[in-house]
Amino acid sequence: MITIKIAGKKEIQILSKKLLSLLEDKNSQIYHENVTKFGIPEEYVKKAFAEDTLLKAILKGKSTFYLVLDDGEIIGFAQIIQHDTKTVELDRIIIFPKYAGRGIGTQLLQKIIQQQEQKGVNNIIVKTGKEEKRARQFYEKNSFKQLGEETVDTPWGKRLTIVIYQLHLNE
């Protein structure tokens, strides 16, 4: 059974271990989709998903991690960052490849929208690579509207064109 919950400290530890172990296989789809494709160096990935980094994101970065569990096993997650009382950013959303394309990402996104709406948030923004057709379709299908584009210099020294989407809530 699929359940969605907000991660506590203990679950962050499990999430970090799971991500780092999945990303050990450099030939895997998840490594390709999230790392190789963007030219991200390995050290950067390891640091980004280290337990310490994720915990700091909660404590200092105003992040919340939502986990998707299938009979207790993590099969995906999302990270949101609170910008202010009215605006959150969906920083990451990943459904592990084996489970993708079955409506689970939509389920997770809808749960986040519902919870944020209840908290009085009225704006969700998300940034994704211009070339990320699947992610863009996913957001558009879920009623996100395109706000604009920008070219950014990533921390690992690559230029990337990103598209910014927004979803208005409480309308």
Which element (helix H / strand E) includes 76? Answer: strand 73-82
How far is residue 38 from each of residues 24, 43, 82, 109, measured CA to CA in Å?
17, 14, 25, 23
Contact status, residue 78 vs residue 109, Cβ threshold 8 Å: yes
Nearer to ligand COA, 117 or 132 (CB): 132
What x/- string results for residues 85 through 114 when contact with ligand COA is judged by CB under 6 A? -------xxxx----xxxxxxx--------
Q: Which of 105, 98, 99, 89 is nearest to 57 (CA)?
A: 89
Query: Closer to ligand COA at the Cβ: 10 or 71?
Result: 71
Question: One symbol per residue from 139 to 168: x for binding ligand COA (CB under 6 A), - otherwise; what is it?
Answer: --x---------------------------
- C-alpha to C-alpha distance for 95 and 77, rounded to whole angstroms: 7
- Quick one: 101 or 157, whose CB is closer to ligand COA? 101
Interaction site with ligand COA (CB under 6 A): 33, 92-95, 100-106, 128, 132, 134-135, 137-138, 141
